[in-house]
Amino acid sequence: MNKKIHWGIMGLGKIAHKFAQDLKLVDNAVITAVGSRSMDKATDFASSYDAKNAYSSYEELAQDPDVDIIYIATPHSLHYENTLLCLNHGKSALCEKPIALNQEQAEEMAALARSKNLFLMEGIWTRFIPATHKLLELLEQKSIGDLHYLKADFGFIVNAPPESRLVDKNLGGGALLDIGIYPLYLSMLVLGNPIDIKANAILAPNGIDQFCSVIASFPNNTQAVMESSFISNTPTEAFIYGSKGYIKMHRKFHQSEKLELHLYESDTTQIFELPIKGNGYVHEIEHVHERLHANATQSDLLPLEMSLQLTRHLDRIKELIGLKYT
User: Mind listing the pLDDT tens digit for each residue in 220-263?
Assistant: 999 999 999 999 999 999 999 999 999 999 999 999 999 999 99
- Across the range 153-165, mean pLDDT stands at 97
How many other β-carbons are positioned within 10 Å of the β-carbon of residue 193? 14
Confidence label for 97 from pLDDT (cuts 50, 70 and 90): very high
pLDDT at 203: 98
Q: How far apart are CA 314 and CA 321, in angstroms?
A: 11
Q: pTM score, two decimals?
A: 0.97
* 247 and 145 in a common domain: yes
The boundaries of the domain holding residue 24 are: 5-124
* 167 and 69 in a common domain: no
Looking at residue 117, which CATH number applies to its domain?
A: 3.40.50.720
Percent of the chain at pLDDT exceeding 90: 99
Q: Please say whether the beta carbons of 32 and 64 come within 8 A.
A: yes
Last residue of one domain, picked from the residues 73, 93, 124: 124
pLDDT at 326: 81
- Across the range 11-28, mean pLDDT stands at 98
Enclosing H/E stretch for 199: strand 196-203
pLDDT at 233: 98
Q: Please say whether the beta carbons of 6 and 30 come within 8 A.
A: yes
Q: Please say whether the beta carbons of 155 and 237 come within 8 A.
A: no
DSSP assignment of 275-325: PPSTTTTHHHHHHHHHHHHTT-SS-SSS-HHHHHHHHHHHHHHHHHHT---
Last residue of one domain, picked from the residues 124, 155, 172: 124
- Across the range 28-32, mean pLDDT stands at 98
pLDDT at 2: 72
How many other β-carbons are positioned within 10 Å of the β-carbon of residue 272? 18
Is residue 1 predicted with pLDDT exceeding 70?
no
Identify which of 177, 191, 83 has the alpha carbon closest to the alpha carbon of residue 136.
Answer: 191
* 135 and 269 in a common domain: yes
